Structure formats: C-alpha cells, structure tokens
Amino acid sequence: MPRVQHSSGTVTTPLDKFLGQDATILSGNEIAISNNVHAQRFKVSFEGAELPEEQGRLFLFPVDEARYSLQLCYLIYGDDAQQYVTAYSIVFLPAFFDQFDARVLTTAHPFSQQKTEELQFFICARAMAVLTGLGESHPHTPLARALHDSQSAIVLLNRALESIAVPFTVCQVPACRFLAYDSEREKINDAVALIEQQTGKPYTIKELARKVAMNECYLKKGFKTITGKTIHEYQQELRINKAKNLLQNHGYSVTSAAFELGYSSIAHFSTAFKRVTGLKPCELLG
C-alpha cells in the first residue's frame, strides 16, 4: 500500500501537499477521461483523531505564456468515514486549455494572475454528486462513458472556479466555517425540509447525510448551529406536535397515533410524548 512520503520535510506533488503529512494512501485507481484530462481516486486514512475538513483545492501552474496546467484535489467523506476518506485528483494538461482563445483565459481569475496559485474551495452539492459518479460504469458504450466523464470533469472545473470567484463572509462559529458558503447552508436547509416532509418515518443521520450529499459530522454540527436543535430533537418535536394534532383534532387513539408516526411501541411513544410536552398522550384525548 503506497504511503504519502514526507521524510525529507518537503512535499513533491500538489496531492501530497493537499493531503498533508498525516495521510496514508491505502489504495488508488486511475479514471480514464481523455488524453488532456487525467483523474485518480484514492482511499486515504489519517493518523490521529482529528480528521481534516471536507474540501477542495485548485493548483494552477503557468507553463508558458497563456498556457497552463491545472490540478483539482478533493477530499470527501463517504459511508466508511471512520475508516478512510476518499481523495480525488483531476489534472487538466496544457493541451486542454489550448482549445480556448488566450484572451478568454488571461482575463479570467485565477489565470489572469499569470503565476502559480493554490486556492481552496468548498464542494457544493452538485459538484459532490458529479464527483462521486466519476468513473462509474455507464449503461451504454465506452464512448458514452468517456463523454460523460469528460463533461463531468468540465463541470467540476467550472464549479471550482465559480466557488473561488465568489467572495464569502467568514462564519462566526469556528467549528462551522463551512457554513460561510451558501451551498453548505443549502444542504442543511434541504435536510430540514426532508425531515418536515417525512414525520412518519424519521431519517437516520446516515440516510439524511446521503440525501443531501454532506458529511455526517458536518451535517450534525451545521444542523445544530442553524436550527438550535440536534437532528433527533428536531425530528422528535415535529412528530410529537403532529401527534398532539392527531389526538386533539382528528379523533386518533393513542395506539393509532403512535402507529401513524412510526413508533415501535406505545411505551416508547408515551415516553417521548411526555418528555416533549410534560403530559401523557391520553390526557389530550377528546
């Protein structure tokens, strides 16, 4: 299993620099895109309990006048985030940018700086979905897959450049710096909407994180920061408020209300109800 080496105290590639000295690459594979765009996917573990933030980074290298090489690096968390995280590297060779008029590039940030750049960006929900589908099997022809992956790479480049170009206000909560980005707050709002649409069958945190394309730890922190409640507390209050309405206004029995809201037993429902309202469910029966 290859390991990111930093024994000399220097880093040798943008990916090494991006991952840092505590990273160990467990495995990796090439993602064939085109002659001008190369991609790789890695499983990476980190020493210590503190994992780095889910993020992206853009490295720009001028190789000649109005000619560039660019590398995107991503770090994202999947279902097995306790064991490893996934890193992506997508390299756009100078030949990729040769298809554009030099004036188009030199008037755009960061190309206009005409110097080596290293810029950080956060990964929006759309980019996350595109990234996780990169290199996956395509139901049609190899050409269709190649076209799909080429288009995906261009979408990722565009999203990264857009993210870098848009200024943001630093979040006042240090542990939730990612909430400074509209795209990250939108994920939390999407999670709230999903919960409110489905009170009868509460989501697990893993299910909710997958649906909004967000790391579970970030989802929990961001949800509490924005709503003032944990995901469990928010779901519990919604369910109990709906139960109150069913018992008081719709003639439901305690048993039928508990069943309607997905509680596994009457005792469990009664305990949750009293914890939220201070009353027993039967006290609200008409």
Q: What domains appear along the chain, each with residue ranges and CATH number?
A: 14-165 (no CATH), 176-284 (1.10.10.60)
- Please state, in angstroms and rounded to a whole number, the distance separating the CA atoms of residues 37 and 156: 12
pLDDT at residue 2, rounded to an integer: 39
Name the percent of the chain in helix, strand, coil, to the closest 5: 45, 20, 35
Task: Report mean pLDDT in 10-residue bins for the chain, 286 residues.
Answer: 41 84 89 93 79 83 89 80 80 94 87 88 80 76 86 94 66 59 86 86 84 84 86 87 84 86 80 83 75
90: nearest Cα among 12, 147, 31? 31
Environment class of residue 185 by beta-carbon count within 10 Å: exposed (0-12), middle (13-18) or buried (19+)? middle
Which residues partner with 29 through β-bridges?
A: 41
pLDDT at residue 4, rounded to an integer: 43
Q: How many helices (H) and strands (E) does the chain have?
A: 11, 6
In the chain, the N- to C-terminal Cα span, in Å, equals: 67
How many residues are present in the chain?
286
Environment class of residue 76 by beta-carbon count within 10 Å: exposed (0-12), middle (13-18) or buried (19+)? buried
- Please state, in angstroms and rounded to a whole number, the distance separating the CA atoms of residues 31 and 134: 8
Tokens of 19: 């991952």
H or E element at residue 63? strand 55-64
Tokens of 163: 């993210």
User: Do residues 239 and 199 touch, judged by C-beta distance below 8 A?
Assistant: yes
SS3 91: strand
User: Do residues 68 and 110 touch, judged by C-beta distance below 8 A?
Assistant: no
